[in-house]
Amino acid sequence: MIKKVKTIYILITVMVGVVMCGILFWWNNQDGFECIQSSLDNSAGFYSTFFFTMNHYLFCKKNKINFEMKSTEWLFKSKDGWTDYFEPVSLNYYTECITNSTYSHSKVLEDFAIIEYKNIIKDIYIYNHRTKLKINDIVNKFGLNSNTYDSIFIRRGDKLAEESKLLEETEYLNLLLSKNPKCHTIFLQTDDYNCFTKLQEHINTNKLNIKLLTLCDENSVGVIVHNHQKKILNNAVKTNHKNKQYISQNIDKMNATKTLEDMNSEEKYKHTIDMIIGVELCIRSNICITDYQSNVARFIKLAHRDSINVHNILFPDKDIDYNHLICPAYGF
């Protein structure tokens, strides 16, 4: 009888020990079962918001944390959000999550090197079938084969109100010709048709054998994302603003421009898909000349097939430090 009781006692002790070990393991690994949701919101531009989502993805991949993307409140949502243009993105290390956390624009979870952002673009920036077809349609229309053309990217619009200094169009072209004197085809990605007009005039005046292509609407004087940015542009006309002269010349058209936040779903889709296609053509080009004053330009630098061929006209002979710990939304 005593022997039987001892056996039962030992079995109970072992079972309690196993249960306690399981509880301790669960407790010590709670963070491992966390799920992070990255929210693409309506507070900023496309690539600014996307850079923070890349930060959240990197953090989850490094720490083996489940990741998912939320885009129901995204400014660029046409119908569903991210999947209007791209394939779904997620990381699934665990079937269930103990805790759920949501982070959005401006939230950096950990500092990563620029090269780490560059390396994961291919993991999350994946076009859906519809987007691929639209890109191919433009490639075929313009007759652009990879590495047979060069590109220039110029972002204006609301950027001129606070963030960017206006740079002359010919500066971009002159740098491009210094890098590739045999350039014959240039794709211009811009939101301001004035850039196309000025570059075409320069090409014609100097009898350059260059075909200039763009997707920019001839009535566009730059993208304005939020309505409050129009007030800033109008105030710039009244002050000693660095871009006062140019803004003054175009302020009427800027005020008449429909902001992204006022566009309907069809207009948002067209605006966004045209931007995505234009950026992709810059990424595929042989040499791209831009400046790093915008998130779009910084994304092109990182996503380009050969990033060393993307040049900043403000510092044409200096490449970026890929080991710099910074979210590209804040600059290089």
Per residue in 80-127, pLDDT (tens digit) is 999 999 999 999 998 888 878 999 999 999 999 999 999 999 999 999
Q: Is 222 exposed, middle or buried (0-12, 13-18, 19+ CB in 10 A)?
A: buried
Q: How much is the average pLDDT of 173-183?
A: 97
d(CA 80, CA 174): 42
pLDDT given for residue 145 in this prediction: 83
Structure-derived torsion over alpha carbons of residues 128, 132, 133, 137, reported in degrees to the nearest 10: 150
Task: Determine what percent of the chain falls in helix, strand and coil, rounding each to the nearest 5.
Answer: 50, 15, 35
Domains and CATH numbers, the chain: 33-115 (no CATH), 143-319 (3.40.50)
Nearest CA to 45 out of 88, 106, 86 is that of 106
Look at residue 2 and tell me whether its pLDDT is greater than 60.
no
The helix (H) or strand (E) run that includes residue 62 is helix 46-63
Nearest CA to 263 out of 12, 87, 74, 120 is that of 74
Q: How much is the average pLDDT of 119-137?
A: 98
The band of 27, judged by pLDDT with boundaries at 50, 70 and 90, is very low
pLDDT given for residue 13 in this prediction: 60
Look at residue 75 and tell me whether its pLDDT is greater than 60.
yes
Q: How much is the average pLDDT of 140-145?
A: 93
Under 8 Å between Cβ of 300 and 153: yes
pLDDT given for residue 146 in this prediction: 74
Which residue type occupies 153?
A: F
For residue 215, the number of C-alpha atoms closer than 13 Å in the C-beta half-sphere is 24
**Global pTM?**
0.89
d(CA 146, CA 139): 9
